[in-house]
Amino acid sequence: MLMTAARLASGLDKTAPPGNFGIKLPEIERLRILVAGEITLDRYSWGEVSRISPEAPIPVLKVDRREERPGSAAFVMANLRALGAEVSTLSVVGADPNGRRLRQILRGLGVRTESIVADPTRPTAVKERVLGSVQSARRATQQLLRVDLENSSPLNPKIERRMTGRIAFELRSADAVLVSDVDPGVLTPTIIRDLIAHCRKRGIPLIADPRISKDYSVYRGATALTPNRYETEVATGVPMTGEKAWRKAALELINRLGLKACLITLDRDGVYLAERGGAAMHIPTAPRAVYDVTGAGDVVLAVFGLCCAAGLRFSAAAALSNLAAGVEVGRLGAEVVSRADLMAALEGSHRAFTRKIMAVEDLKQALERDRKAGRKIAFTNGCFDLLHSGHVECLNLARAQADALVVGINSDRSVRALKGSGRPVYPATERVRILAALECVDYVVVFDDTRAEKIIHEIRPDVLIKGEDWRGKRIDGGAFVKSRGGRVVFAPILHGHGTSATIARIRSSSPS
């Protein structure tokens, strides 16, 4: 049975199809995760580079937008919330406006912040990224500069005691602890050891993303570690040159620290999982465009730790975290990976085209990511009933006008209002699949109005494509697109290939 268009577009179906080790996403509701580690306020300045400074050989960025986001351990929390978990935090901020802003952002996400301790002797950690694009050359956005404000000095004993005093309270109802141990971090050896001891006493997992160090003894007794390639090489002295080396290093950490598992993140090579007892596996990454690796390790920690808390096997948790990291690196900056994103990734390459089918709100988020990457958006719309060569010609021309093409199709109700009771021939659930299967189409969205004005205002395309027969007429959204600096392009009409004419020919050739 075909899914309804709304359900198909939502990406929230609970059961994953075969593939990717036959994994299904676990039920997350009511799982409570404590995240311990350094939280940062990430600031982003976005703009366009159009000239070189006369003062120095550096680009001049004309800033048009600024954003503030949770970073480091706070980004782990944001991902956990997007996946449906209840989250609390154990961390330190400064007694300053940045610390208050970071608390406000986390509370807005639904994160419990009672165990964030304010330290008047150190500033809240801030990472500011400056990103620019060269729109006139159609070059994608890239990071130009990062400025860090942080204090790497050890916590004073008073603040450390306040933090350790919160551990027992936070772990009364926690199902797992995730440790994001960034260097320089706020987690002292005493805090980490206390967390591990309390977790072992309660029988709940503790997963740690470790700092860069030659000595990992502080993590002895943890359930699992998720170091990256370089961190693993520093900690073990094993050159990470291939699968034999990955296995050797992972098993060395397991044996040395009494871990149950070690998941090494290998950037372009995916992840490598080893378990106590010798079981090991390499999970390669799916081929995809990589725009920014910011936040990928945090996504792995969030998904792997959450899946372990939900009782999944280490292998299933590793595969899901690898999928999530693949989604993250395809986005610019640190952006959360939601349950819907994971469901779409789980569908596998044999159904990858269905990922293009989106509800309006999901589409707006996807287009925002495209714009941040410097991509221009084209839009065209229609009933697209009985797809024919004229449609294909128009869609290919539309895609050539920009970096991404959104196709809006009328709902079954609006098609009937426009074409009569005998239409559409195919319901929207089939029309969206046919369009999404075309290589030139990047996104498909269903709208219920007979006119496209509202959906165009929602999507805000840079280019609007209509058939040549619309020249000189009032075009839905045309004035709006032009008012924002966009343009309207008219596609040639391939005569004799209209849907109505095709239906008439079919009817005339059918036996009466």
CB 43 within 8 A of CB 126: yes
Nearest C-alpha neighbor of 395 from the set 356, 350, 369:
356
d(CA 346, CA 343): 5
CB 470 within 8 A of CB 463: no
d(CA 512, CA 350): 41
DSSP 8-state secondary structure symbol assigned to residue 498: -
DSSP 8-state secondary structure symbol assigned to residue 36: E
Neighbouring-strand partners of residue 67? 44
CB 117 within 8 A of CB 91: yes
In order of 250, 256, 258, the CA distances from 238 in angstroms are 10, 14, 19
Decide: residue 247, CB within 10 A, 0-12 exposed, 13-18 middle, 19+ buried.
buried
DSSP 8-state secondary structure symbol assigned to residue 228: B
Helices (H), 24-170: 73-82, 97-109, 157-170
Q: In this structure, which amino acid lies at residue 444?
A: V
CB 21 within 8 A of CB 319: yes
Q: Which residues are catalytic?
A: 298
